[in-house]
């Protein structure tokens, strides 16, 4: 008697397998069987869940006979397709076959259930049921019909397998190689290859045989070219694979050429060589189906490749645009600083003039014959003035150096109130004559931002406010308010200048638009300010009424930048 432990090699099967003794006793179930049929308790209950869609035997108690009963009673190897109702009341379809081994009977359960195949299998089974009445008395006809059904299942399995590969990957190499392998197996071919069209010739790109043939340019007879052009599959017995083939094929080799078209465009051909004897009509439908799927996949792959190239190009352009935008922001900042140079120069010139004047006085005092207490007191006073003048120059230089931090484009934490004060120092010459600054600062936590860029926004808005006041009247007030609300930083800059006319409000943030005279404004200040705030994932809006002034509101999220 066979040792059951010696049958463990059936655990290597991918399908469910069980073994029976001659008297029908269940001896062994492999691991796949146990994993698939989890609720198996007894063979008697298990076999009743299998049903034929077709009755196989003439018997009075046909309702009581299951496919597994027939299988176990059969002395010959047996195979069939039947349905199985699991414990979830779902219907699965299995291809079941048996064979004798060492005095036992092995039964294999192969799951052939799939979305597409079920529809066609059910259709074929209905056709078989309709024809069953005519085939009942003729076992020979039934056998042929059964073979046809199995062939259809096999073909549908191939189509479904290729369809699954196409759904799972966009790699055209994998798809084409899989299709060639399936055709090779289907027709029992010893070589199958795919060639792309080059004028009236074809170049081999993929093959199941020797890869040295890849890139070989092949030529065919005129009648073959005509058949390919007409989108027809051809089958012929040939002694040469193609006209310029260096050798001669063995006698009786069949060559099948399958055109691969997309609409009216011939993409290429599939060529397969086999020694099997069959008619083309038997496989024509499945070969056409594979051709259609392959053509669709090739076109889709080409489109995806083009899209990827365009995406890379677009990404490159976007990066270049971001870099250009940063350069534009820095250029505008330098341009704005250029406009401030005269004012800053005046700010520096006043203390310099004071130092220069004091130096002359000190020189005269030093060159006098006597130095009394009055002269010493005067020297101390002049020295004190010089110290203050130098401090003013130093403050201006330090503020300029902090303000022009073009290398600090990265985000960092900053005190926004201090940064606004820094900006006010830089534009002090714009403010000092007749403009009052009202600060309504709230205590703010450090804000993650590009300090350099935000200072530029503050400067653009504050200078515009100064100009708006000076163009409208000699003096005015600029109110700066800061606070946080709902995890947002809010900065409001309000002036009582001439305001913005309603007819140009929608153009304020447009690049190149300016109300200033030529040579004074570039029209980029507010446009760039909006881009900077957009980079901070915030918003910049304004409220204005002609003759009553304007208020700009900057909102920046304080988290998730």
- String of b and e for 350-377 (b: at least 16 CB within 10 Å)? ebeebbeebeeebeeeeeeeeeeeeeee
* One-character DSSP codes across 295-317: HHHHHHHHHHHHHHHHHHHHHHH
pLDDT of 517 strictly over 60:
no
Cβ-based neighbour number of residue 273 at 10 Å: 20
pLDDT tens, residue by residue, 1-42: 556 677 788 888 899 999 998 888 888 999 999 898 888 888
Q: Where residue 452 falls among pLDDT bands split at 50, 70, 90?
A: confident
CB 254 within 8 A of CB 273: yes
Question: What pLDDT does residue 482 have?
Answer: 95
pLDDT of 409 strictly over 60:
no
* One-character DSSP codes across 87-126: TTS-EEEEEEEEEEETTEEEEEEEE---HHHHHHHHHHHH
259 phi and psi angles, rounded to 5 deg: -70, 145
Q: Where residue 561 falls among pLDDT bands split at 50, 70, 90?
A: very low
Percentage of residues in the chain with pLDDT exceeding 90? 13
Pairing status of strand 91-101 against strand 189-198: unpaired
Task: Give CA–CA dist 293/313, Å, rounded.
Answer: 30
Beta strand extents in 141-215 (DSSP E only) = 189-198, 201-207
Pairing status of strand 435-441 against strand 476-485: parallel
Q: Where residue 70 falls among pLDDT bands split at 50, 70, 90?
A: confident
Question: What pLDDT does residue 416 have?
Answer: 92
Question: What pLDDT does residue 350 have?
Answer: 63
CB 52 within 8 A of CB 68: no
Contacts of 94 (CB under 8 A, 6+ apart): 50, 81, 82, 83, 84, 109, 110, 111, 112, 113
Domains and CATH numbers, the chain: 4-113 (3.30.450.20), 166-308 (3.30.450.40), 405-561 (3.30.565.10)
Average pLDDT over the chain reads 78
Lowest mean pLDDT among 177-186, 306-315, 392-401: 392-401
pLDDT of 379 strictly over 90:
no
Question: What pLDDT does residue 406 have?
Answer: 46
Reference 443, options 483, 413, 414, 481; nearest CA is 483
CB 4 within 8 A of CB 21: no
pLDDT tens, residue by residue, 156-173: 777 777 777 766 777 788
H or E element in which residue 44 lies: helix 43-47
Whole-model pTM above 0.85?
Answer: no
Reference 269, options 277, 259, 279; nearest CA is 259
């Amino acid at each position: 008697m066979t040792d059951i432990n010696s049958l463990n090699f059936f655990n290597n099967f991918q399908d469910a397998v069980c073994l029976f003794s001659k008297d029908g006793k269940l001896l062994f179930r492999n691991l796949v069987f146990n994993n698939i049929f989890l609720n198996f308790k007894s063979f008697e209950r298990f076999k009743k869940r299998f049903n034929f869609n077709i009755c196989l035997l003439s018997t009075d108690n046909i309702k009581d006979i299951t496919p597994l009963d027939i299988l176990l009673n059969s002395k010959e190897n047996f195979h069939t397709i039947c349905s199985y109702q699991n414990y979830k009341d779902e219907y699965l379809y299995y291809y079941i076959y048996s064979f004798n081994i060492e005095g036992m009977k092995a039964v294999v359960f192969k799951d052939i259930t799939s979305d597409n195949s079920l529809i066609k299998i059910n259709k074929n089974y209905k056709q078989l049921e309709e024809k069953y009445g005519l085939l009942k008395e003729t076992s020979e006809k039934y056998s042929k019909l059964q073979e046809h059904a199995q062939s259809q299942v096999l073909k549908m399995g191939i189509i479904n397998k290729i369809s699954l590969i196409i759904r799972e990957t966009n790699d055209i190499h994998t798809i084409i190689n899989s299709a060639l392998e399936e055709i090779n197996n289907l027709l029992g071919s010893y070589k199958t290859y795919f060639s792309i069209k080059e004028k009236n010739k074809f170049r081999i790109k993929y093959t199941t045989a020797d890869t040295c043939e890849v890139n070989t340019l092949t030529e065919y007879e005129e009648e073959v070219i005509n058949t390919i052009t007409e989108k027809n599959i051809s089958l012929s017995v040939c002694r040469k694979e193609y006209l310029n083939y260096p050798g001669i094929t063995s006698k009786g080799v069949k060559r099948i050429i399958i055109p691969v078209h997309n609409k009216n465009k011939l993409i290429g051909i599939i060529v397969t060589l086999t020694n099997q004897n069959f008619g083309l009509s038997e496989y024509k439908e499945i070969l056409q189906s594979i051709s259609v799927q392959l053509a669709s996949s090739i076109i889709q792959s080409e489109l995806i490749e083009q899209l990827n190239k365009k995406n890379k190009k677009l990404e490159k352009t976007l990066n270049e645009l971001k870099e250009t935008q940063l350069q534009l922001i820095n250029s505008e900042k330098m341009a704005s600083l250029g406009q401030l140079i005269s004012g800053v120069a005046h700010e520096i010139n006043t203390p310099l003039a004071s130092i220069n004047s004091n130096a002359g006085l000190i020189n005269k005092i030093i060159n006098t014959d006597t130095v009394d207490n009055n002269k010493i007191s005067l020297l101390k006073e002049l020295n004190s003035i010089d110290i203050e003048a130098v401090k003013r120059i130093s403050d201006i230089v330090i503020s300029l150096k902090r303000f022009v931090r073009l290398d600090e484009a990265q985000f960092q934490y900053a005190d926004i109130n201090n940064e606004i004060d820094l900006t006010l120092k830089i534009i002090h010459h714009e403010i000092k004559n007749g403009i009052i600054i009202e600060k309504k600062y709230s205590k703010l936590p450090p804000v993650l931002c590009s300090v350099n860029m935000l200072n530029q926004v503050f400067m653009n808005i504050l200078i515009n406010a100064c100009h708006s006041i000076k163009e409208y009247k000699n003096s005015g007030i600029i109110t700066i308010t800061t606070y946080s609300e709902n995890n947002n930083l809010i900065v409001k800059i309000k002036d009582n200048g001439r305001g913005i006319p309603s007819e140009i409000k929608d153009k304020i943030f447009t690049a190149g638009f300016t109300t200033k005279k030529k040579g004074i404004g570039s029209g980029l200040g507010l446009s760039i300010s909006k881009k900077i705030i957009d980079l901070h994932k915030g918003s910049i809006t304004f409220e204005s009424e002609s003759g009553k002034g304007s208020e700009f509101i900057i909102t920046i999220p304080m988290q998730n930048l």
